Amino acid sequence: MVDTSHVRASLQAIASRPEHADTAATAIQRWLTEADFLPWRPLLQSLVDAESWDLLLDSFYRVLPFGTGGRRGPVGLGPNRMNPWALGTSVQGNIEFMRDRFGAAAPLSVVIASDVRVFRDLRGAFPRGVDNPLLGMTSVDLACQAAAIYAANGVDVHMLDPEGGKFLATPQLSFLIRRLGCQGGLNVSASHNHPDDNGGKFYTEQGAQEVPPHDERMVDKVQAVDSVPSTSWSDALASGRVHFLADEHHEAYLADVSRVLRGRERGAKVVFTNLHGVGDGAAGAALERAGFDVHYVPEQRAHDGLFPGVKFRAPNPEYPTAFEPAVALARRIGADLVLATDPDADRIGAMVPDPRDLDAPYRFLTGNELSALIAAARFQGAPPGKIGIKTEVTTQLFTRVVQAAGGQAVSHLLVGCKYIAGVMRDLETTGRSGDVTGGLDDVLIGTEESHGFLLSTNIRDKDSAAPALVLAELASERKAAGSSLLAALEELYRAHGAVANVQMPLVMAGAVGRQRIEAIQDGMRAQPPSSIGGRAVTAFHDRRDPDGIFGPILSGTDRASRDVLVFELGPDHRLVIRPSGTEPKTKIYAEAVVPAGEDLAASLAEADRQAVALASDFVSQALALIGLALPPAGLNCSPLLGVEERMDFATKVLPEAARRAGAGEALGPWLAERLGGGDALGLTAPGLAWWIERGEGSTLPPSARAALAQAWGLPG
């Protein structure tokens, strides 16, 4: 028996909010006593016996919420973790939501997709030697569980045969919901998150994720679920309600995305990597089908949810580190374009040749730069009045490109492609969205800075295949003309201004981290700074303001989505802060625009310097609200690290490493013990480089600096 009073008292000792400790203690007691949780009892008991109070508090103090990408988080025990209980109650709530929406007697059907994930507890959250039923659990396993629950509730399911070795990408799921006339869909995926994470993204009959206030109705349905029908995959198959998808649907998807192609130029040599995810069946297949010369990256080709061939196991095309094997291949074969997709293939990243940089001959393109390039290609030769859509945190360069081409721009949306899909739905049904008028066929592009694109109106979530085709065709056209994609981007900067967009995310995990994120938002909202980076704040916008552009708060989910603060610093500089809806971090976006002079490189460097200065100062002001300070060396570490890890590196690891290096001591064994070596060295290396070049480390003797650089694997 568990001493519940001891559990409650231990949780209260570390919780900053008493109600969190009470909620967690009650939930732990339920998981230890009720029959539904019997398989998890030994593992949970081992955590209680080990007094893993931080983990237990964070796992049980709340129900894992829905964010901009659905319900997503670390696999584990408790209502604030992804596990069969969390997915099962979500599915049951989704069924009740659909019945409420379409009628109790209406026939219902869904499409289910899943990615390549498998839980191996790489973070070491659970004790070894204890039976752990979570180990080895895959996204496919969870998809089959979901299918069984749908079938047991009389809902038909369309999915790929789980034994077939093939996967559906997020855009294919969205496309098939509409093609098959289904009432909803589910993708079991954590997108680009850490391998230990998983999640479930639920879709409506539009092939999109629901927007406020309707999404709160589903949240309410999920929270009201007390139990889930006990059923099995074999029972689901026997029911006749599980239908395996035929190849014709894949062919229809490829035909749909190929409509973005304008001509017949296919001369670009393309290196493509699916980063171990399902993108080879989406963007990769589309590129091959269109006739491009596609070269896959062998180290990252296999479907593997541990992402072994991706640096830091971070399979995100927003990170240049994910491209390292692809760039090595590109250099060997002289590729004209390098493309990457994330594990569920709803994001696209790119690198392009830069012959002027002999040390780094391939240049990474940010999501904002891709947005401008693809918009320019889509609007080239288009009649006036066509429509481009972006989220508020996406670059203003996109808006300038669209408007210069005679198009209409929707530029103020909240983060999440579901809001772009909402504009599409408005245009489809009413011919208007805000100040923009037109029909669905007038939409040429929807985009968000996190490398997300909607180019087909038959797909209402992010798609990697269509933008991959646009970029490959544009690279081919430029190559045939003796030019390049980089030159096309520079032409946009010359025409519309040197624009720099910088993002500085702050990772703060766990219940304490969530409270810190909320405290920063509350503090900034209550007393907005009057200046940032030496520039006066000329306007402040709280997107929760009922008198603002979004009007009154529609629901609790609307309130959460609108936790966005915007600071204008004159006409050409701005800063935005918001909590992530899918990861334990707050996101800070800074934008600076300067005139494009004759020396474009210098203009871009100045814009970037100004944007970095804005973001850096704002980070300092934000952390000061919660009593923290992040030295520059920590600020320059990889954003994959948590704030406290970056602080520890800057304030403790660096001074001690410098002392040891100055004394001629070997750093390797100490670093291996202190940081753990491997990924930790790589994640902190940028901070060390800054410290040696521009910080206190620049005053060290050359021998000490060389020893530090060697220990971290930096050039001497």
DSSP sequence for 409-442: EEEEEPSSHHHHHHHHHHHHHHSEETTEE--GGG
Res. 9 pLDDT band, cuts 50 70 90:
very high
Q: Is 712 strand, coil or helix?
A: helix
Is-contact 641 684, C-beta < 8 A? yes
Nearest alpha-carbon partner for 457 in 471, 447, 443: 443
pLDDT at position 70 is 64
CA distance 280 to 341: 9
Q: Is 453 strand, coil or helix?
A: strand
**Last residue within a domain, chosen from 227, 245, 263:** 245
Res. 581 pLDDT band, cuts 50 70 90:
confident
pLDDT at position 255 is 98
State the average pLDDT over residues 334-350: 98
Say if 75 falls within a structural domain. no
pLDDT at position 236 is 96
Is-contact 278 168, C-beta < 8 A? yes
pLDDT at position 140 is 98
Same domain, 339 and 296: yes
CA distance 687 to 632: 8
Owning domain of residue 119? 82-123+131-245
More confident residue, 87 or 222: 87
Q: Per DSSP, what are the bridge partners of residue 306?
A: none
pLDDT at position 2 is 67
Q: Is the pLDDT of residue 226 over 90?
A: no
Res. 66 pLDDT band, cuts 50 70 90:
low
Q: Is the pLDDT of residue 1 over 60?
A: no
Q: Look-up: residue for tokens 């109106």?
A: 457
CATH of residue 437's domain is 3.40.120.10
**CA distances from residue 137 to 102, 119, 387, 576 in whole angstroms, order as listed:** 33, 5, 43, 38
The DSSP-derived string for 96-164 is HHHHHHH-TTS--EEEEEE-S-B---TT--S-TTS--TTTT-BHHHHHHHHHHHHHHTT-EEEE--TTS
The DSSP-derived string for 522-588 is HHHHHS--SEETTEE--EEEETT-TTSTT-S--SHHHHHHT--EEEE-SSSEEEEEEE-SSSSEEEE
pLDDT at position 41 is 95
The pLDDT tens digits for 126-177 are 999 899 999 999 999 999 999 999 999 999 999 999 999 999 999 999 999 9
Q: Look-up: residue for tokens 């200065």?
A: 613
pLDDT at position 667 is 92
State the average pLDDT over residues 532-545: 98
CA distance 182 to 158: 9
Is-contact 82 197, C-beta < 8 A? yes
Same domain, 652 and 607: no
Q: Report the sign of the C-alpha dihedral through residues 429, 433, 435, 440, in that order.
A: negative
Per the prediction, the chain carries an average pLDDT of 95
Is-contact 419 434, C-beta < 8 A? no
CA distance 43 to 63: 19
The pLDDT tens digits for 52-62 are 999 999 999 98
Of all residues in the chain, what percent carry a pLDDT higher than 90? 89
Q: Is 591 strand, coil or helix?
A: strand
**CA distances from residue 422 to 175, 201, 207, 429 in whole angstroms, order as listed:** 16, 17, 11, 11
Tell whether pTM > 0.85: yes
Same domain, 535 and 670: no
Same domain, 484 and 504: no
State the average pLDDT over residues 186-205: 95
Nearest alpha-carbon partner for 143 in 90, 195, 104, 99: 90
Q: Per DSSP, what are the bridge partners of residue 567?
A: 540, 575
CA angle at 290 for the pair 284 and 293, rounded to the nearest 5°: 65
pLDDT at position 141 is 97
State the average pLDDT over residues 441-448: 98
Same domain, 223 and 90: yes
Say if 637 falls within a structural domain. no
Q: Is 404 strand, coil or helix?
A: helix
pLDDT at position 385 is 98
Say if 492 falls within a structural domain. yes
Is-contact 365 387, C-beta < 8 A? no
Which ranges of 440-549 does DSSP label H, i.e. alpha helix?
A: 465-480, 485-496, 510-526
Same domain, 457 and 473: yes
Same domain, 349 and 450: yes
Q: Look-up: residue for tokens 């994720």?
A: 209
Is-contact 186 201, C-beta < 8 A? yes
Q: Is the pLDDT of residue 715 over 90?
A: no
Q: Is 60 strand, coil or helix?
A: helix
pLDDT at position 677 is 64
532: number of Cβ within 10 Å: 23
The pLDDT tens digits for 637-681 are 999 999 999 999 999 999 999 999 999 999 989 998 998 767 889
The pLDDT tens digits for 197-206 are 999 999 999 9
How does DSSP classify residue 82?
A: B
Q: Is 697 strand, coil or helix?
A: helix
Of all residues in the chain, what percent carry a pLDDT higher than 70? 98
Total number of domains constituting the chain: 5
Same domain, 358 and 472: yes
Structure tokens at 265: 């130029």
CA distance 597 to 603: 6
Q: Look-up: residue for tokens 């659990």?
A: 137
Q: Is the pLDDT of residue 69 over 60?
A: no
Residue 487, Cα to own-chain centre: how many angstroms?
29
Say if 334 falls within a structural domain. yes
Burial class (CB in 10 A: 0-12, 13-18, 19+), 155: buried
Say if 584 falls within a structural domain. yes
pLDDT at position 510 is 87
CATH of residue 592's domain is 3.30.310.50
Is-contact 275 299, C-beta < 8 A? no
State the average pLDDT over residues 617-639: 97
Nearest alpha-carbon partner for 83 in 50, 21, 29, 125: 125
Q: Is 181 strand, coil or helix?
A: coil
Is-contact 340 323, C-beta < 8 A? yes
Say if 146 falls within a structural domain. yes
CA distance 276 to 273: 8
Same domain, 32 and 147: no
Same domain, 680 and 618: no
Measured in residues, the chain has a length of: 716
Structure tokens at 279: 């993108």
**How many Cα neighbours within 13 Å face the side chain of 107?**
6
How does DSSP classify residue 63?
A: P
Is-contact 288 281, C-beta < 8 A? no
Say if 72 falls within a structural domain. no
Same domain, 269 and 238: no
CA distance 585 to 544: 20
State the average pLDDT over residues 73-79: 95
CA distance 545 to 562: 9
Q: Is the pLDDT of residue 67 over 70?
A: no
The pLDDT tens digits for 505-519 are 999 998 889 999 999
Backbone φ and ψ of 612, nearest 5°: -65, -40
Q: Look-up: residue for tokens 């640096």?
A: 311
Say if 511 falls within a structural domain. yes
**Last residue within a domain, chosen from 245, 268, 297:** 245
Backbone φ and ψ of 345, nearest 5°: 60, 35
Q: Is 704 strand, coil or helix?
A: helix
Structure tokens at 322: 């994910």
The pLDDT tens digits for 389-421 are 999 999 999 999 999 999 999 999 999 999 999
State the average pLDDT over residues 625-635: 97
Residues 6+ apart with CB under 8 A from 530: 536, 537
Q: Strand 436-437 vs strand 362-365: parallel, antiparallel, or unpaired? A: unpaired
Residues 6+ apart with CB under 8 A from 14: 21, 53, 54, 57
Provide the residue type at 1 as one letter: M
**Last residue within a domain, chosen from 629, 651, 677:** 629
Res. 7 pLDDT band, cuts 50 70 90:
very high
Same domain, 606 and 537: yes
Res. 703 pLDDT band, cuts 50 70 90:
very high
